[in-house]
Chains A and B, each alone.
Chain A
Amino acid sequence: MHPRYTDVPHAAENSPYPSALVLGNGLCGAIASRALLDLGLSVRLVGTSRISSALFCSAPLFDSEHYYQQLLSEKDKDLEILDVVEHPAIRREAPGFIVSLGKDKQSFFGCIIVTSRVSLRNQENNLPAGVEQMGTGVLSGQAERIVFLLDYIHRSDPAVGMAAIKKAIENQMVGGHSFVLFQHAPVTHIFGESLYERARRAGVQFVRFGSELPSVRKKKENSRTPLKFTVTVRDSIEMGEKLEFHCNRVVVVSSPDGSSIPNWALDFAAHDVDDEGFLLSASIHCHSGRSFANGIFAVGECTGNVDLIRVIEQARSTAVRARAWMRRAALLQNEKTVVSSEECIRCLTCYRICPHSAVSLIGMQSRSTVEACASFCEQCGICVSECPRMALDLESFPEQNVSAFLTKVRQTSPPLSMVLYGCERTAARLVAKIELPPDILFFSFPCAGSISEAILWATLASGVRGVLVLGCHHDNCASDSGTDWARVRVEAILEKLASHGCIPLKLKYATVSAKEPARFRGIVEQYANYLRDGAGMKPAEG
């Protein structure tokens, strides 16, 4: 599917890498820039204002201020920091991006790292005025009575929770009293449990509540006592015993809010958000900062990650992926992956559906051509399969391959029971592990999404009893939506056949992973037996 780029000789290292563009000059931007600079890349760090980020560090004895200051310095000759008024426009041009930074200023970058700020979820709506949100600021240093309220309505983020426990300890150390109310104690990292232990030994009082949320009341304004809040909670361990704490501060420990991602960041990764709205799809292929929109990466808060230790790991692993990606993009820049014929009507379907944002329109309106930029293209073939004019073809997997296969199918005598279609990444690997019976033929596609409806119709008309289409599990496809395209097409054909009154079930879609050889064998055998038994040949009624 994609060319191997691990085989490049050493000589290629001599050419310098293009610069990386980091969008967002808060703390996450600084961490991302540092990671890129450490890999010998030059970095342009761009942002509209220096907003301090909300990253929480639960590591003991850690001086975050000192750390932040030493991230970037004037000695970094490969770093340029730029303040911009508005967020830049980008255009893909192999092997990277042309970015407009301010008036008439265009620069080329090899990759783009998005790091935007997120806000913590506001849970103070049901709480009296004066209740605070857990932040990264320091305590006053005075002894206080503080209630830290975790899991209030929404689950607290563990990094924020552990930072709160750290603050609770600090308060105890200066003679204060801290109370931590929670449903689930956060114990992330190898030191999480010992932090919890240390807090208990320091005198922090922990209370676990159940489904009944604690209530917070505030004393009247003219009240003399500094302990203006009363927090009531039912201890779920001690048989629901009702406890009451009087304190001068209540701090709600929240979690990042996916709906607070600014539009400019969403524009860069429009298709790639998870179920909570954070950048980067939940797909396993988008671990370590990678977006399906090739060449664009995301690090930090905007991906839902507010744990400083994890953001550093994420930034470094993203930088290594970005560097590798730029290397590949440079190697491929002069190649052609998708060819477009005169049949193209510039409907831009391919542009809209390409999961890797590899397609661009070159030239003027009526004389423009569609081009898949080889640096970005993964050769999944989804564009080819969905083109309404069949105007596209993949260099590495031309249409002749499929027609040659169908010719072979038509000529096979006796007719095959089943044709099995699937992708290189999953189905091909599963098929390689078993011995298919002679009445089943397998044909591998770059991606299940490259199996067009036309190919399925042609296969059904080639004399086989049935066709089984295998895709990766939903949200596991290496081209994001490829497997879902396969399902949609199979369903469309089945619906058309059903609407004509015949339900032959000659077509089936199933999802598997390369991890499931036994289940795969079961699916193939079951459907093959069904087809062999003639169950697929029920004539129409009447």
Chain B
Amino acid sequence: MSNKPTVIIGGGIAGLAVAKALSENGFSCVVVEKDDRIGGRVRDWACMATHRCLRCFCCSVEDLVHDVTTASSVDIILGSELSGVIKCGQSLEQVRVKSLASGHEKLLDASALVIATGFEPYNPKEKLLLGYGRFEGVFTLIDVDTFLREDNISRFTAGIQEPLRVAFFQCVGSRDKTIGADYCSQYCCKGALRMALRLLENNSDWEITIFYIDLQIAGKLAGWLLSEAKERGIRLAQGVPGEIVEGSDKMLQISRDDNGSNVRENFHRIVLSVGQRSTSASREIASLVGLELDNYGFLAPEGFLETSRTTVAGVYLAGTCCGPKDIENTLMHAGQTAAAIIADLKNEPRV
């Protein structure tokens, strides 16, 4: 490496995207990842293509992993986490990383530090009325995504022979003041639409309903996703039921209001579109580095129009660690983070 690198904490899609953008511009990086491989959560998620790409962006992690591992100006340290920062006055000088296995610490020269530690999917177990973890037919969007990735849909269907009746519940763990998460998690409306279309592609006789509060449909192909869903017979119903009851036949029962009358419906499977929450790793890093947290526990950026810089000089944020995003917005945000670093280094790598 010919210059003092940018140290990126987190080798998920956001961290990799920052590393690629910086190295393409001549700035070297070190990616520090706690797992034994890079790629983060997105590596476990499935391609949602039907007869065409649906813009889930999951394949971009494969491209990024390839680009970053073959880039000579990017070093990767696996199985390690951030353990400290060393400054000279206000200026960032070095970063300390610790191996999780051996506890051995290493000092890295750093011209900038990026926190890209990602999000935690909401665990709906605490919503007792939804039966997640108790009823075998209740899953999260993330669970089903990993089944599809493993091409193991039998983990979802569990041998049910007749066409499945599936429901998606939107906003589970999002837009919810009672759990301190009154924000939209940004990815789940389109995420559920894509997954519904993907499931229908291979199982055209299934009946799928999406229960939503407000559909967040914006961006490229989003309008098409919605009209394609309607055309394929996916039912969209306003109002998310608050309770799931398991019948003796293992069917899942919900009740909802339909123009003033109480209606009961049965489903084989219910998929909970869970929100994005902040992680304990991000919160620990905040105290280690002197970063602020917002009302929801996410790492706080400098301001509304400065969402990559922080109040600490030399420290930047990328991806969902500072707020919920879908993959497309994560890539765009990571690009902005790289731009901020290059600009602050006055466009010249520091030697």
Contact = CB atoms under 8 A, between A and B. Distances in A.
A4 interface: yes
Interface string A509-532: 001011110110010000000000
Contacts of A185: 213-214
Given A40-B346, A327-B25, A327-B26, A522 B151 contact: yes
B182 A239 contact: no
A187 B332 contact: no
B59 A514 contact: yes
A187 B184 contact: yes
Q: Taking chain B's interface residues, is the majority helix, strand, or loop, or is none over half, making it mixed?
A: loop
Interface stretch (A125-133, A223-231, A282-290, A399-407): A282-290
B215 to A, nearest CB: 5
A193 B216 contact: no
Nearest to A191: B183
B220 interface: yes
Contacts of B347: 39-40
Interface stretch (B68-76, B77-85, B126-134): B68-76
A6 B23 contact: yes
A240 B259 contact: yes
Contacts of B70: 4, 6
Contacts of B52: 473-475
A326 to B, nearest CB: 10
* Interface residues of A, dominant DSSP: loop
A458 to B, nearest CB: 29
B208 to A, nearest CB: 19
Residue among B52, B53, B216 having the largest count of chain A Cβ atoms under 10 Å: B53
Contact of B47 (A184, A210, A304, A515): A515
A4 B71 contact: yes
B149 A316 contact: no
Interface string B38-79: 000000011101011101011110110011001111100000
A62 B304 contact: yes
A269 B25 CA distance: 25
Highest count of chain B CB atoms <10 Å: which of A182, A280, A519:
A519
Contact of B71 (A7, A193, A319, A425): A7
Contacts of A4: 70-71
A385 interface: no
B335 interface: yes
B53 A283 contact: yes
B343 interface: yes
B349 interface: yes
A329 to B, nearest CB: 12
Interface stretch (A85-93, A213-221, A307-315, A339-347): A307-315
A186 B24 contact: no
A59 interface: yes
A327 B347 CA distance: 13
B179 interface: no
A320 interface: yes
User: Interface size bucket, A side?
Assistant: 35 or more
A13 B349 contact: yes
A8 B294 CA distance: 39
Nearest to A159: B218
B307 interface: yes
Interface stretch (A271-279, A368-376, A412-420): A271-279
Contacts of B219: 304
Interface in A23-51: 35, 38-40
Interface stretch (B242-250, B266-274, B323-331): B323-331
B163 interface: no
A5 B74 CA distance: 12
Given A278-B220, A316-B339, A316-B340, A7 B72 contact: yes
A188 B218 contact: yes
B122 to A, nearest CB: 15
A318 B351 CA distance: 26
B296 interface: yes
B220 to A, nearest CB: 4
A327 B24 contact: yes
A34 B120 CA distance: 35
A272 to B, nearest CB: 11
A8 B336 contact: no
B56 to A, nearest CB: 9
Given A193-B175, A327-B25, A474-B53, A239 B260 contact: yes
Nearest to A518: B151
Nearest to B345: A40
A41 B47 CA distance: 38
A462 B182 CA distance: 64
B296 A184 contact: no
B221 interface: yes
A425 B62 CA distance: 9
Given A6-B67, A328-B24, A186 B216 contact: yes
Interface string A38-81: 11100000000000000000011010000100000000000000
Contact of B214 (A6, A13, A184): A184
A332 to B, nearest CB: 13
Interface residues of B, number: 79
A190 B260 contact: no
Contact of A276 (B21, B223, B336): B223
Interface in A174-208: 182, 184-194, 197, 208
A336 interface: no
A514 B337 CA distance: 27
Contacts of A159: 218
A59 B218 contact: no
A328 B26 CA distance: 10
Nearest to A182: B214
Contacts of A287: 57, 328, 331-332
A496 interface: no
A173 interface: no
Interface string B85-104: 00000000000000000000
Contact of B332 (A40, A186, A308, A313): A313
A193 B220 contact: no
Contact of A8 (B26, B67, B220): B26
B223 A155 contact: yes
A396 interface: no
A473 B47 contact: yes
A35 B339 contact: yes
A105 interface: no
B21 A321 contact: yes
Contact of B215 (A184, A314, A475): A184
B305 interface: yes
Given A188-B218, A278-B220, A5 B24 contact: yes
Contacts of A410: none
Contact of B175 (A9, A187, A240, A274): A187
Contact of B53 (A155, A475, A518): A475
Contact of A208 (B26, B220, B238, B340): B238
Given A38-B343, A284-B59, A518-B151, A190 B223 contact: no
Interface of A: 4-10, 12-13, 35, 38-40, 59-60, 62, 67, 155, 157-159, 182, 184-194, 197, 208, 210, 236, 239-240, 274-276, 278, 280, 282-284, 287-288, 304, 308-310, 312-314, 316-321, 323-324, 327-328, 425-426, 429, 472-476, 511, 513-516, 518-519, 522
Given A6-B74, A313-B329, A518-B152, 6 more contacts: A9-B2, A10-B2, A157-B218, A158-B216, A284-B55, A313-B336
The 10 A-B pairs at the shortest CB distance, nearest first, are namely: A317-B335, A518-B151, A40-B347, A324-B24, A476-B53, A6-B71, A515-B47, A514-B62, A59-B304, A6-B23
27 contacts: A7-B72, A8-B26, A13-B349, A38-B339, A62-B304, A159-B218, A182-B214, A188-B184, A190-B294, A190-B296, A194-B182, A239-B259, A275-B220, A275-B223, A287-B331, A304-B220, A310-B332, A312-B336, A313-B335, A320-B21, A320-B339, A474-B51, A513-B53, A515-B45, A516-B47, A518-B152, A522-B151
